[in-house]
Structure 1
Amino acid sequence: MRLTEKSQVTVPKAVRERLGIGPGSDVDFVAEGDGVRLVKLDDAARKRSAVEDWLRSASGSGNGRLTTEDIMDETRGPFDDLDLR
């Protein structure tokens, strides 16, 4: 199998059928030893994957750790809209 100029490959029909995937299916590549495994993502796995991707990207600044306040700001917006009369 050869990668295209855009680093794409065609998943063989037998593999697509075995995984039950087709156009629009969500899949992931899982590193294992010297290779990778193609896995079909279900709804829960897609949500976990999205959260993990966000956490990896968000941890690129500072010490790499998010505080509870950082997470709350990211999910709800900053806590600065209160009228503290």
Structure 2
Amino acid sequence: MRLNSKGQVTIPADLRRKYALEKGDEVDIVEVGTALQIVRREGALRRGKRLTEHMRGRATTSMSTDELMELFRGRT
């Protein structure tokens, strides 16, 4: 890996998959002895949780859950 002019590095895709790192995840760089470690930020929300928190309370429908399920399943 090479540090770019902005001090950024790219974590290889296989490592991102292995450690379930996704776009928007928060990480910290921690000094351990003479090495640096990339660690997931403690308490940071995962992508799915961020999305659900963002969407919570935004629904504008007056339909019940059962009505919505019927609509999605194509039963009317």
Q: TM-score, normalising length from structure 1?
A: 0.46
- Percent of aligned pairs sharing the same letter: 34
Q: Deviations over 1:24-81 (max 9, x none)?
A: 0111111111111111125x2x4xxxxxxxxxxxxxxxxxxxxxxxxxxxxxxxxxxx
SS at match of 1:37: strand
State the partner residue of 1:40. Answer: 40
Unaligned stretches of 5+ residues in structure 1? 47-85
- For the pair shown, the structure with the greater C-alpha radius of gyration is 2
Unaligned stretches of 5+ residues in structure 2? 45-76
More helix by share: 1
Q: TM-score, normalising length from structure 2?
A: 0.50
Partners of 1:19 and 1:41 lie apart in 2 by: 13
- Spell out structure 1 runs of 4+ moving beyond 2 A: none
Q: Which structure is higher in RCO with an 8 Å CA cutoff and minimum separation 6?
A: 2
When the two chains are superposed, the root-mean-square deviation of aligned CA atoms in Å is 1.4
